[in-house]
């Protein structure tokens, strides 16, 4: 299949993809990302498609699987935000948006281990290996991240310092 034919067939499905993506992901940006990701994946796997007459079903299956992967990521991120709220025992009325903002405001050195450990679910040992630092450094950075987030959220009225 040529790139032009591939693009034409995907574009013919764009409304359907958009509706499925929005229904599964509840977010315009994530739906658009899922379409792009599925297009890249499908292009790379195009030789595995044995019958071009089944392109639409094949592509939709790839797309739905990508949306499911993203949903799992959303759930992990939501759980991580909830975990971040539990980092301090005083978290009662904190909104997920505020916790995400606090996490995003951390410097990379603190945010990356926090995301890998709390959001992505890697162990401290795995996080250390990924970042190329010692497990003790990961532990220290996670502790610093929790303290900074608590301070930022306290300034927003979510915790008593």
> Residue 118 in contact with residue 133, Cβ under 8 Å?
no
Distance CA(12)–CA(56), nearest Å, equals: 9
What does the pLDDT read at residue 89?
43
Q: Is the pLDDT of residue 127 over 50?
A: yes
pTM: 0.48
> Residue 115 in contact with residue 99, Cβ under 8 Å?
no
pLDDT tens by residue, 51-107: 988 898 899 889 888 988 888 776 656 555 555 555 544 444 455 667 777 887 888
Q: Which two tokens stand for residue 133?
A: 């630092």
Domain 87-155 matching CATH 1.10.10.10: the answer reads: yes
pLDDT tens by residue, 10-43: 999 988 888 888 877 878 888 899 999 999 999 9
CB neighbours (10 Å) of residue 81?
21
Topology of the domain comprising 3-72: Rna Polymerase Sigma Factor; Chain: A (1.10.1740)
């Amino acid at each position: 299949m040529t790139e032009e034919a591939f693009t034409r067939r995907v574009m013919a499905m764009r409304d359907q993809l958009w509706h499925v993506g929005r229904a599964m992901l509840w977010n315009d940006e994530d739906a658009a990302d899922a379409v792009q990701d599925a297009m890249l994946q499908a292009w790379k796997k195009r030789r595995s498609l044995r019958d071009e007459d089944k392109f639409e079903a094949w592509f939709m299956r790839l797309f739905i699987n990508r949306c499911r992967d993203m949903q799992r990521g959303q759930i992990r991120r939501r759980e991580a935000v909830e975990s971040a709220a539990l980092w301090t025992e005083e978290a009662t009325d904190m909104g997920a948006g505020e916790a995400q903002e606090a996490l995003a405001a951390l410097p990379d050195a603190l945010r990356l281990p926090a995301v890998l450990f709390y959001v992505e679910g890697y162990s401290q040992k795995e996080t250390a290996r990924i970042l190329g630092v010692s497990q003790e450094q990961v532990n220290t950075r996670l502790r610093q991240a929790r303290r900074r987030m608590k301070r930022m959220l306290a300034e927003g009225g979510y915790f008593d310092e």
